[in-house]
Amino acid sequence: MFLALQPVRAQDDYAAIIRNAMKAMEQDSLTKADSLINQAMHLKPADKANAVLYQYLGEIYVRQKRHKDALQAFSDGLTLQSGSQNLLIDRASLYLTMGSETRALTDLDNLLTINPDHLQGLFYRAYVYRKQHLMMKARRDYEHLITLQPDNREARISLAMLNADDNRPQEAMEQADIIVRYWPNYATGWIVRGGLHQKRRNFELALYDMNQAISLEPDNPDFYISRAILYRDFKKKSLARADFARAVQLGANPAECASLMLTDRRGKEAK
């Protein structure tokens, strides 16, 4: 009778340890959570359900900036469950953090083969395609994502910037107009549309949009740099210097701002 109760006791211990590990993670006691998860896996080392525990371990190591350990944990989990969508997206995200875009793309392709409508997977793969200058593939993923989730403003802003980079200014402006119309308090939308107006050499519209962005986020140094570059390109040097100075006050790199002040929009020394 005692022997018959042993598996039940082990199962109860396993579940209790995992519950305690989850509580430790919620309380940011990551070292304790790490120890508890390893303890649980030791109780049932051959259980395929341990794939989820490897995912938790990976998340702990990511939070601790232990990227190699996190990568190993995610990979161990995928050895147990190769089709785990959560592990595939977590490892792909980590690969991107580590600068391994080719490996990230492999995981994202596998993920999207399993689930073609995985929102985060589509967003990450479009990002990788864009960095690899595979504009058509990136656009296809962004557009599919927007079809699935029309209110995804990050996807829309990314598509607008992709179209701008791909010399499709009209499509870029259409996306930027949608963003500003539906999310008028989204400062990045205004700054992106201002940049598109700047490319068209329309100073007044660009300035209006950049002013809107700064009014929404007055402590964002990047927005002052954007407006300073606009002033610089239209030969309004005193205004440009004032905005670069404000950006530095807000934390921007002084050397970078000084260099930008001396460079025109074509990358040549400003006169």
Q: Which pLDDT score is estimated for 4?
A: 43
Q: Which pLDDT score is estimated for 3?
A: 45
Q: Which pLDDT score is estimated for 7?
A: 46
Q: Which pLDDT score is estimated for 35?
A: 87
**Matching CATH topology for 42-111 and 116-205?**
yes
The segments of the chain whose pLDDT lies below 70 read 1-12, 264-271
Q: d(Cα 33, Cα 30) in Å, to the nearest integer?
A: 5
Q: Which pLDDT score is estimated for 42?
A: 82
Q: Which pLDDT score is estimated for 38?
A: 84
Residue 11: count of CB within 10 angstroms of its CB: 12
Token representation of residue 24? 């430790």
Q: d(Cα 179, Cα 177) in Å, to the nearest integer?
A: 5
Q: Looking at the domain 116-205, which fold is it?
A: 1.25.40
Please tell me the CATH code under which domain 42-111 is placed. 1.25.40.10
Where are the chain's structural domains? 42-111, 116-205, 219-265
Token representation of residue 205? 């519209």
Q: Which pLDDT score is estimated for 11?
A: 56
Average pLDDT across the chain, whole number: 91
Residues 6 or more apart whose CB falls under 8 angstroms from that of 180 comprise 186, 189, 190, 193, 209
DSSP 27: T
